[in-house]
Amino acid sequence: MGNAHTEIGALQQTANKGLTEGADAVMKVTGKDLCDYCQKDVVAMAKASKLNSLKIYAETDDAYRFYEWEAGMARFKITETPK
C-alpha cells in the first residue's frame, strides 16, 4: 500500500475494517482528476472489497467529474460538467 494512490488506500483501509461488503461508498477528490491508474484500479478495488456501489466526485480547475460504479459494471460511468 506504500505506493498506492490515496483513493486506493482509502478503500483498502475501509475494507480492512470490514466496512465495505455490500456498502455504498462515496468519495470526494479536490484539486485534480482521477489518474488513468485510479480510474481502472479503483473499480478493481471496489469489486475486491465487495462494495455495492461507489461514487466519486472530482473537482479540477475547469470541470466537475462524477464517477459512478455499481456491482456488475466493468468500469466507471463518467459525467463531466464544465465550471
Q: How far apart are CA 39 and CA 76, in angstroms?
A: 7
Domain borders along the chain are: 22-82
Which cell numbers in the block locate residue 19?
466496512
Global pTM exceeds 0.95: no
- Three-class DSSP category at 33: coil
For residue range 16-70, what is the model confidence (pLDDT) as tens digits?
999 999 999 999 998 889 988 889 999 999 999 999 999 999 998 999 999 999 9
Q: How far apart are the first and last CA of the chain?
A: 34
Q: How far apart are CA 49 and CA 59, in angstroms?
A: 25
DSSP state of 34: P
